[in-house]
């Protein structure tokens, strides 16, 4: 998901909330809007911060502070400035209501700006609420105890003690390219195909050669495939998050018998937690999508592949 830059969001979000409130006329009255509608998808705002109401529309502390920040350089500590800012918002609200009564909110340029700000606000909500959801519904349920980690180590001691010498070909959002690479590897070699991604590189440099990797350094997306490879063998296409995909080659493998649970406890717990989180997130996403009603209006968007977060 692309999210707005943090330093930009508070101002745009406040402006978005104001415009969203301005963008709908109260169907019960042709003269003025009697209540500012809540932003799309939001919970009903608490009304304990109201400064004044204008024909039933609440002007809040946040509205006054936004006005101070925009017009008076943040001088909210001075009562006179605060009073002036509140009066200014009241005047603007009266004008807003009259503009709505005249139907000026139908202006095309205004509607375009309003939709852009609504999209910004919704992007903020999706990012922030998504993070809260992830912490409560995913991360909190993925905790790993030391006993869990020790049992996992004992069941997978050989695998965790194994170091593997890996070469990779990485492409972003380009599986057709990897399919071509697989065909070319059959005709030439893994190394020759990997080198073609770095034209002009000195012979001594091999950025595709990752050297010996400890168990904790191996990406989750590789582990099952690596377990099935013998030294010298090449994988198929391995898919990871954010559009990443690889072909890997196992060059060598060795077991380090000196590795103990205490020496790898942290990485084992981290890896287990990550694996649990990914499984919980996938299950939650699948359950939400199965319950959802999706009606694709734009066929070009419906045909696009789903992007990884």
Residue 35's pLDDT is: 42
Residue 235's pLDDT is: 96
pLDDT tens digits for range 222-275: 998 999 999 999 999 999 888 899 999 999 999 999 999 999 999 999 989 988
pLDDT tens digits for range 166-184: 999 999 999 999 999 999 9
Kindly tell me if the per-residue pLDDT of 111 is higher than 80: yes
Kindly tell me if the per-residue pLDDT of 112 is higher than 70: yes
> What's the angle, vertex CA 129, arms to CA 126 and CA 132, rounded to 5?
145
**CATH 3.40.50.2300 is the classification of domain 151-262:** no
Please provide the average confidence, as pLDDT, over all residues in the chain: 84
Residue 75's pLDDT is: 55
| In the chain, where the domains are located | 9-139, 151-262, 270-303
pLDDT tens digits for range 9-61: 444 445 444 444 444 444 334 333 344 444 444 444 456 789 999 999 999 99
* 146 confidence band (pLDDT: 50, 70, 90): very high
pLDDT tens digits for range 269-298: 998 998 899 889 889 999 999 999 999 888
Residue 47's pLDDT is: 65
* 73 confidence band (pLDDT: 50, 70, 90): low
Q: How many CA atoms lie within 13 A of 166 on its CB side?
A: 23
């Amino acid at each position: 998901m692309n999210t707005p830059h943090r330093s930009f969001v508070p101002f745009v979000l406040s402006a978005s909330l104001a415009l969203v409130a301005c963008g709908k006329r109260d169907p019960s009255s042709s003269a003025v809007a009697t209540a500012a509608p809540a932003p799309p998808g939001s919970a009903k705002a608490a009304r304990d911060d109201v400064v004044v109401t204008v024909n039933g529309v609440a002007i809040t502390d946040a509205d006054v502070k936004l006005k101070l920040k925009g017009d008076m350089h943040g001088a909210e500590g001075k009562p006179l400035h605060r009073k002036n800012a509140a009066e200014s918002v009241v005047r603007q609200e009266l004008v807003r209501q009259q503009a709505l009564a005249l139907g000026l909110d139908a202006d095309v340029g205004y509607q375009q700006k309003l939709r852009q700000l609504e999209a910004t606000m919704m992007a903020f909500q999706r990012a922030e609420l998504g993070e809260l959801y992830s912490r409560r519904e995913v991360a909190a349920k993925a905790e790993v105890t030391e006993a869990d980690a020790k049992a996992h180590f004992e069941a997978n001691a050989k695998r965790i003690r194994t170091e593997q010498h890996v070469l990779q070909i990485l492409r972003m959002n380009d599986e057709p390219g990897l399919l071509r690479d697989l065909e070319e590897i059959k005709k030439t070699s893994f190394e020759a195909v990997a080198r073609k991604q770095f034209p002009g590189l000195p012979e001594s440099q091999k950025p595709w050669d990752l050297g010996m990797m400890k168990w904790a350094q191996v990406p989750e997306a590789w582990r099952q495939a690596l377990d099935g490879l013998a030294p010298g063998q090449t994988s198929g296409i391995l898919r990871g998050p954010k559009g990443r995909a690889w072909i890997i080659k196992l060059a060598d493998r060795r077991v380090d018998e000196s590795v103990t649970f205490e020496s790898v406890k942290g990485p084992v717990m981290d890896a287990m937690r990550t694996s649990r989180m990914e499984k919980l997130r996938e299950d939650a996403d699948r359950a939400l999508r199965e319950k959802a009603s999706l009606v694709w209006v734009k066929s070009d968007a419906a045909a696009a592949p789903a992007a990884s977060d």
